[in-house]
Amino acid sequence: MSFIKYIEKNKAEEIENILNPIVREWFFSKFKEFSLTQLYGVKNINDRKNILVCAPTGGTKTLTAFLPIINYLVELALKKELENKVYAVYCSPLKALTNDIYINLIKPLEEIGEIAKKKGKEMQEIRVGLRTGDSEQKERQKMTKKSPHILVTTPESFAIVMTSKKFIENLRGVEYVIVDEIHALTNKRGVYLSLTLERLSDISIIEPVRIGLSATIAPLEEIARFLVGVGRECLIADVKLMKKVEIGLNFPGGNIIEAESIENQRELYYILDELIWKHKTTLIFTNTRAATERIIHYLDLHFPGKYVGLIGAHHSSMSKEKRFEIEEKLRKGELKVVVSSTSLELGIDIGSIDLVIMLRSPKSVSRALQRIGRAGHKLHENPKGEFLVLDRDDLIECGVMRKGMIEGKIDLAEIPKNCLDVLSQQIYGMAITRVWNVDELLKLIRRSYCYENLTKEDFYSVISYLAGDYALEHRNVYAKIWYDAEKKLIGKRGKMARVIYLTNLGTIPGEESASVIIGTGERKGSVVGKIDESFLEKMKRGDVFVLGGNKYQFLYARGLKAFVSADVSKNPTIPSWFSEILPLNFELAKEIGRFRKLVKERLQEKERCIEWIMSYLYCKREIANEIYDYFWQQDKFSEIPDEKTLVVEKYKENKEYLMFHSLYGRRVNDVLARAYAYAAARLKHRDVEIGVGDNGFYIAGESLDENKIINWVKSKDLEKIVKEAIEKTEILRRRFRHCAARALMILRNYKGREKSVGKQQVHSEFLFVAVKKLSDDFPILREARREVIEDLMDIKNAKKVLEWIERGEIKIKIKKLPLVSPFGLNLSLQGKSDLIKMEDRVSFLKRMYEIHMRTINNKEEFKII
């Protein structure tokens, strides 16, 4: 029984025949012909089939979904049969939807209305309602009485209307649901939406048709199942618009080692300048907010005055208005160049960009495609992009990525499963709307693809949590729902339930940004900028970081204020991209490992090897030369690690280092590093430092016995080891706070008072300790652990790697070296990521006391009083 089916395109006449004459006239007044995407999608949607439409950016996806719906509504409106209900829900993860919706929905409807008027046909008004977090109270109330026919919303606001007593009546007859940008929902927001969709199906008189719109993504079958849930059919329209990918690979300067130096950074700006003026509008992706600022700053320094008014920044820490302003300017063609961290990757139409430059690796093929898709957003233009890389690891990475783009190899997306925090919030929301039988509830939940395999134990542990069973005493005060185990019923508890739900709902954790304030000297008290909360959390007294091109030394934090000193001569101790870095995709990482092996096999014959690299990577000779040199150096100094050889280098600086050249991406390496570090820490009962990158990781400690360490970690124990290793880390606490907020254990908003993230932090800190004492199996605690090892890290693939090692498919080779090898250099410079704690607080205190007693000679100071 196959529920998923790939489809072919329909004939243009078939679609033309569907359309009402007025809609047809409108369409051809705007477009010459149907786009390929429309040929795939329109008829099937009209036939009320669930469908996932996957097409590159600019493939007219949104209109494909709306055209048959508009057509249907126009026909009803002409017959005056439009009812006061929502016919279609359009849900998008983007909040700044207004403009897109105007183009794809409101304007077409207006124009169709005019055509009808001209023809003397009377037509009911087709109403479009926008409901996002920004919608005003008045608007919302109006909507309840006079229902929009098409409701445009976000996943969060969708859940709100699903809980609204009155509005829910307007939703019982929904016939279509469109989920746009579904590729950006392979996260907890998407998990959340999948349950909201099941709630919609549950209250619907007729099962709504589900339409998913996606940019290039894989595996499509999984995304399709994610869209429709369990037991429903889904068509897949894999629209292969033969857009030819035009993508360059380049580095500034003649020699890439020099490109890394400050002097040659100059070269970078000259190349950028040249590229910018060769094109109409250029979009530059930098991956991080800090780099975005730096690029703008230096372009101006190198070319004074040239970019005034022509350059704009766009990143997620900017205000909404500021970002919108930049988007508007882009659309109007007023800007020559826009520099973005990652924030412009997603959807909205941003006008006539004809070149996308990627500084630093985008870390996955689909992300790279998404980015260059921003150029030539119009249907028949080819996207054009340029990789500009600054170091040799990036050169190889982008080279292999580019090969994947050219050959159409897409990496795999993953959707989180059985998230108990999201589940808690949704069950709470459902209990507000009515009394549920728990079996019926579980059945509904399991219809979501993300909860298909939810165990009864997990389900009941969430019910127990919500019902206050973990509260030991005063059960009534703390419960969120009531649960009658005998009758198997649950329902709402307390008058505040609905308000609490509505003001705290959502899955995006409150990651606030912290103000950076000068804490000493003349400029004391002046605010110099903002940093992410997660970045602040990593900082320790004395750390030096870069913000807006200036260096600051961190003094202390008070809530969400970071006090710094501006008078710094030390070099930065924290790389500015630290908190924001994207992880390298596992599939792509393996491809690079394969490439390493193929080069290694050919290394002895220089000329042939270089030519092979040129043909394999479709690249210029100078790039192939550069790559060859890099491999040759590694080979001479140590050994080239590849997909079959895991090279582990041992060397000594102030500590002993074990550098594992495991090219699997940082999500996998994070797991492996923690497991090996845990083994090392256990052996010596001392803390061990780890550093994690995409190309490998290191562990560092006083003395490391590599054989014992490596043999101790076995794939079958990995989960247990890693769970233990993360138990005392900051990251688990932080994720616990996020999960606790999602599960409504910590409220962001209570009785109208917004709680600061700082306050939530103090509470969650204590809650974490208390919950652990109460029960180690508390569902939200387990969810935090799952999120860390499955979503943030990648235990599944890490386990796979260990199995390969155990089966001998990967050989470990230990190399003893005087210092770090060329391949390990970048990683060792990056600094440590975390500390695996083994020594407990009490023994650490004793050790510190002893050290202290030894160093203090002046006994006088003990006698101050």
Partner 1 sequence: MEEIINEEEGTKIKFVGKCLLIEKLKNLNKKRKKIERVLVVGDLHLGFGEIIGIFGINVGREMFNNIIDEMSEVFRKIGKVDKVILLGDIKHDFGGILRQEWSDVIKMIDYLKEKCKKIILIKGNHDNFLKKIVRKRNLKIYNYYFYEGFFFCHGERDYKKIWDKKVKYLIVGHGHPAIKLKEKKGNKVEKYKCFLVGKIRGKKIIIIPSFAEYYVGSEPREGEIILAWNINFLNFVVYVVGENLEVLNFGLLKNL
Binding site for partner 1 (CB under 8 A): 465, 468, 470-475, 477-478, 480, 500, 519, 540-541, 555-558, 563, 654, 687, 689, 740, 744-747, 750, 762-763, 765-767, 770-771, 773-774, 778, 832, 835, 837, 839, 841-842, 844-846, 848-849, 851-852, 856, 861-862, 864-865
Nearest-approach distance from CB 737 to partner 1, in angstroms: 12
Nearer to partner 1, 381 or 839 (CB): 839
Nearer to partner 1, 205 or 864 (CB): 864
497 neighbors 432 (Cβ within 8 angstroms): yes
Report the alpha-carbon distance of residue 637 to residue 233 in Å, rounded: 57
Nearer to partner 1, 342 or 461 (CB): 461
Q: Looking at residue 236, what DSSP letter applies? A: E
Nearest-approach distance from CB 676 to partner 1, in angstroms: 18
Bridge partners for 697 per DSSP: 660, 692
Q: Looking at residue 571, what DSSP letter applies? A: P
Nearest-approach distance from CB 468 to partner 1, in angstroms: 7
Secondary structure, 3-state, 517-570: EECCCCCCCCEEEEEEHHHHHHCCCCCEEEECCEEEEEEEEECCEEEEECCCCC
Query: 710: alpha, beta or left, given left = phi > 0 and alpha = psi -120 to 50?
Result: alpha
371 neighbors 355 (Cβ within 8 angstroms): no
Report the alpha-carbon distance of residue 388 to residue 371 in Å, rounded: 14
Nearest-approach distance from CB 519 to partner 1, in angstroms: 8
Report the alpha-carbon distance of residue 237 to residue 220 in Å, rounded: 9
Helix axes 666-684, 795-806, angle to 10 degrees: 70
Nearer to partner 1, 436 or 778 (CB): 778
Nearer to partner 1, 73 or 557 (CB): 557
Nearer to partner 1, 244 or 841 (CB): 841
Nearest to 168 by CA among 131, 127, 204, 211: 204
Nearest-approach distance from CB 293 to partner 1, in angstroms: 28
Side-by-side strand order, sheet with 282-285: 246-250, 384-388, 355-359, 282-285, 337-340, 311-314
Nearest-approach distance from CB 853 to partner 1, in angstroms: 9
Nearer to partner 1, 198 or 689 (CB): 689
Query: 69: alpha, beta or left, given left = phi > 0 and alpha = psi -120 to 50?
Result: alpha
Report the alpha-carbon distance of residue 372 to residue 353 in Å, rounded: 10
Nearest-approach distance from CB 863 to partner 1, in angstroms: 9
Q: Looking at residue 103, what DSSP letter applies? A: I
Nearest-approach distance from CB 541 to partner 1, in angstroms: 7
Nearest-approach distance from CB 770 to partner 1, in angstroms: 4
Nearer to partner 1, 2 or 654 (CB): 654
Nearest-approach distance from CB 775 to partner 1, in angstroms: 10
Nearer to partner 1, 1 or 477 (CB): 477
Nearer to partner 1, 301 or 848 (CB): 848
Residue 528 has phi, psi (to 5 degrees) of -110, -10
Nearer to partner 1, 242 or 865 (CB): 865
Full DSSP string of 746-803:
S-SEETTEEPPHHHHHHHHHHHHHHHHHH-TT-HHHHHHHHIIIIIIS-HHHHHHHHH
Nearer to partner 1, 190 or 506 (CB): 506
Nearer to partner 1, 77 or 767 (CB): 767
Nearest-approach distance from CB 651 to partner 1, in angstroms: 17
Dihedral sign for Cα atoms in the order 217, 36, 375, 617: positive
Residue 184 has phi, psi (to 5 degrees) of -95, 10
Nearest-approach distance from CB 687 to partner 1, in angstroms: 5
Nearest to 33 by CA among 12, 56, 63: 12
Nearer to partner 1, 292 or 504 (CB): 504
Nearest-approach distance from CB 845 to partner 1, in angstroms: 6
Side-by-side strand order, sheet with 561-565: 527-532, 513-518, 561-565, 550-558, 544-547
Report the alpha-carbon distance of residue 801 to residue 793 in Å, rounded: 14
Nearest-approach distance from CB 702 to partner 1, in angstroms: 9
Between the alpha carbon of residue 300 and those of residues 294, 318, 549, 571, 577, the distances in Å are 10, 20, 13, 24, 22
466 neighbors 482 (Cβ within 8 angstroms): no
**Local structure of 680: helix, strand or coil:** helix
Report the alpha-carbon distance of residue 767 to residue 750 in Å, rounded: 17
Nearest-approach distance from CB 753 to partner 1, in angstroms: 11
Q: Which residues contact 516 (CB under 8 A, 6 or more apart)?
A: 527, 528, 529, 530, 531, 547, 552, 562, 564
Nearer to partner 1, 32 or 854 (CB): 854
Report the alpha-carbon distance of residue 202 to residue 229 in Å, rounded: 13
Tell me how far apart the 2 most distant CA atoms of the chain are, in Å: 102
Q: Looking at residue 414, what DSSP letter applies? A: -
